[in-house]
Amino acid sequence: MTTLPPPGEGARPATNNAPDEPTANQTVNPTVNPTIDTRNERLDDGINRCPKCGSTEIQLRPSVGMLVCLFCRHEWAEARLDETIVNGDLAALRGTTIGSGASDIDTGADSLITMKCAGCGAEVVVNTDEQMGARCHWCRHVLTVNEQVANGAVPDAVLPFAITHDAATVKIREFAGKRRLFADRAFVRGFKPENVFGVYMPYMVVDANASADVAGFGEVKTRQYTRGTNNNKETYYDADVYSVQRHIDFTADDLTIEASSERAQMNAAANTNNIINTILPFDTANAVKWNASYLTGFTSEKRDQDVAETTPELEDQLLSIARSQLASSVDRYDRGVRWERERVEVHGTRWVAMYLPVWLYSHYQERGGKTMVHYIAVNGRTGEVMGSVPVSTPRLLAAALTVGTVLEGIVIAMLGASR
Amino acid sequence: MIAMLLSELTSGALVAASDGGPLWLLALGPAGGGALYFGLWRYYRNTHQSHSFERETRIEAKPIIAHDTKVDEIKGTKKSGIDGDNGTDHRKRVQRLDS
C-alpha cells in the first residue's frame, strides 16, 4: 500500500457501535480566523484598587485562590475565562480561533511600558520582559500592567496558585528525602527547599476537532509448534498477515502546550525541562481573566511562541492521541501491529494563552565542563511533584558493584554445589 | 579488593562452567549490577517522565472505522511477534501523509 484509502466504502466498525457513523472528513475553511476578545475591560494599566477600600496593596491568597486586599482583608476573584467566552460543541469547531492574548507576538514591540501613577502623577517604567508591575518610587502605590500588549506578556487567562509556599516546600523535601542516599553530595549540602519560588509558566491551551487515518500491518498467530528433539527443540509460528487501516474522528479539550521555546526543548541529555512537563495537567477550566495582581509575589516567564510555532507540536500530540485511542481496535492481532503511515486532519482549533502556576526548586550542577539545571517542580494547583536529582556516580557505582559481586558469588556457589 | 574478589569469582566460575554448569548464569552478576545502576539512575533523574496527554486529556471519539484485509501468510517463522511492532508506542511517528 502506498496511500491511505478514504474510509467509508468497504469499511466496518471495529466496535459494536453503529457502523454508519459519519466519518466526517469535513472541509476546513482556512480563511476563518476569528479572535476571541479576552481583555479584562474592567481594569486599566496603572493603579489596581481594592473594590472595597481603594487600596493598591493586593495579592493572591493561594489557600483560597482569591485576591486579597492587605488593608481591609476583602477577598474577590476575577471571572472564570470559561464563563466569559462561548465554548460550544467541540465537534462543531471549524477553522482557527485565537484568544486576543494568544495573538502573534510583535517582535518589534517595545517591552518597556510607561505608566502614569494615578496617585501622584509620576511616570513609572515597567519592563514587561521581567515583571508585570512596579511600585511608584514617589508615593508607593502599586502599578500593574493589565492591558494586553503586543509583546505577548499578557495572556488571555491566569490560573492562580492554590498550593502554598509551605505546602510546596514539604512536597519537595519529601521528594528529595527519598532520593538522598545516592544524590550528588553538592546537591545534598546545598538543599534548601524553602528556596522554592513560584513562577507562572506560559502555555497555549488548545481545544481541537480532528480526524486521523493510520495504516500498517497486523499479524494473527494461526499455529505454534516445536521442531527438533531433546535439547535442540525450537518453537516455530505460522501467522496470517493483514493490511490494517483505521480512521477516527475525535475532539480534545484543553491540550496544554509549552509556549516558551526554551521550555519546549526537551532533551534529557542537556536539560530537565521534561520535569516541568510531567506535572501537567492543570485544571485549566478554572483559569480566570487576567489581573496582574495575581502575579504579586511570584515571577513569570513571557510567552515567545505563536500559534503557528506550536501547531506542529499540537499535530504531533493529536496523532499520538489517535494512535492511543485506536489501540483497543487492534487487540485481535496477537502478534502485534506495525503502523507505517499516518495522517491527521485538523478541522478546527481554539487557542488560549495562559499562565499556569509552578513551584520550582532548582539546583545548578557543573561537572566535567558541562552544566545542567536540575528542577524539582510542584504543580501549583494539584500538588503533583516531579524532579531530577543529580546522582553521585561513585556511590551508584559502589552499590552496583556490591550487588553484582554478591549475585556473582551466589551463582558461583550454586554452580559449585551442582558439580 | 573488589578486583581481587571478582578475579577469584571468575576463575571459580570458569572451573564450574568447564564441568558442564550453565555458563550463562555467570552473566547474572554484571547484569544485576547494571540493572541496579540504571534503575537507581532513572529513579533519581526521571528522564523518562513526561505528561501523559493521551490519557490525561478529555477526549471524545466517535466509533473507529476499520478496514482490514488479509494479504499474506507466514509459515514456520521463529519470530514470536511482528517485525517493528509499534502498536503501543503511540508517540513514535511513522511516515506522515499530507492531509
Q: Which amino acid is at A337?
A: V
CB spacing of A251 vs B25 below 8 angstroms: no
Q: Which amino acid is at A140?
A: R
**Distance (Å) from the alpha carbon of B24 to chain A's nearest alpha carbon:** 10
| Residues A159 and A284: beta-carbon distance below 8 Å | yes
CB spacing of B67 vs A10 below 8 angstroms: yes
CB spacing of B65 vs A248 below 8 angstroms: yes
Q: What is the pLDDT of residue A45?
A: 66
Q: Which amino acid is at A320?
A: S
| Residue from B6, B40, B62, B74 to probe the interface with A (highest A Cβ count within 10 Å) | B62
Q: What is the pLDDT of residue A29?
A: 44
* pLDDT tens readout for residues B49-98: 999 999 999 999 999 999 999 999 999 999 999 999 999 999 999 999 98
pLDDT along chain A (419 residues), means of 10: 40 40 40 70 75 89 91 92 82 92 82 81 81 82 77 89 96 97 96 95 97 98 92 92 98 96 89 96 94 89 93 97 97 97 97 96 90 96 97 96 94 82
Q: Which chain B residues touch A342 with a CB distance below 8 Å?
A: 93-97
Q: What is the pLDDT of residue A82?
A: 84
Q: What is the pLDDT of residue A33?
A: 62
Q: What is the pLDDT of residue B79?
A: 97
Closest CA to A294 of A43, A77, A53, A52: A77
Q: Which chain B residues touch A258 with a CB distance below 8 Å?
A: none
What ranges in chain B are assigned the alpha helix state H? 2-18, 28-45, 53-56
Measured between CB atoms, which of A14, A255, A411 is closest to B28? A411
CB spacing of A237 vs B78 below 8 angstroms: yes
Q: What is the pLDDT of residue A114?
A: 82
Q: Is the pTM of this model over 0.90?
A: no
Q: What is the pLDDT of residue B21?
A: 56
| Residues B93 and A316: beta-carbon distance below 8 Å | yes
Does residue A308 sit in helix, strand or coil? helix
Within chain A, what is the greatest distance between any pair of CA atoms?
Answer: 98
Q: Which amino acid is at B10?
A: T
A316 class by beta-carbon count within 10 Å (0-12 exposed, 13-18 middle, 19+ buried): middle
**Distance (Å) from the alpha carbon of A402 to chain B's nearest alpha carbon:** 8
Q: Does the beta carbon of A397 lie under 8 angstroms from any beta carbon of chain B?
A: yes
Q: Which of residues 46-85 of B touch A (CB under 8 A)?
A: 46-51, 53-85
Q: What is the pLDDT of residue A36?
A: 80
Q: Which residues sit opposite A123 in a β-bridge?
A: A116
Q: What is the pLDDT of residue B98?
A: 84
* pLDDT tens readout for residues B38-54: 999 999 999 999 999 99
Within chain B, what is the greatest distance between any pair of CA atoms?
Answer: 65
Q: Which residue has the higher pLDDT, A286 or B12?
A: A286
CB spacing of B97 vs A213 below 8 angstroms: yes
Q: Does the beta carbon of A341 lie under 8 angstroms from any beta carbon of chain B?
A: yes
Q: Which chain A residues touch B32 with a CB distance below 8 Å?
A: 403-404, 407
Q: Does the beta carbon of A123 lie under 8 angstroms from any beta carbon of chain B?
A: no
**Distance (Å) from the alpha carbon of A41 to chain B's nearest alpha carbon:** 31
Q: What is the per-residue burial (b if ≥16 Cβ within 10 Å, else e) of A369-380?
A: eeeeebbbbbbb
Q: Which chain B residues touch A91 with a CB distance below 8 Å?
A: 60
| Residue from A89, A179, A392, A407 to probe the interface with B (highest B Cβ count within 10 Å) | A407
Q: Does the beta carbon of B18 lie under 8 angstroms from any beta carbon of chain A?
A: no
Q: Which chain B residues touch A316 with a CB distance below 8 Å?
A: 91, 93
Alpha-carbon gap, residue A53 to A45, rounded angstroms: 19
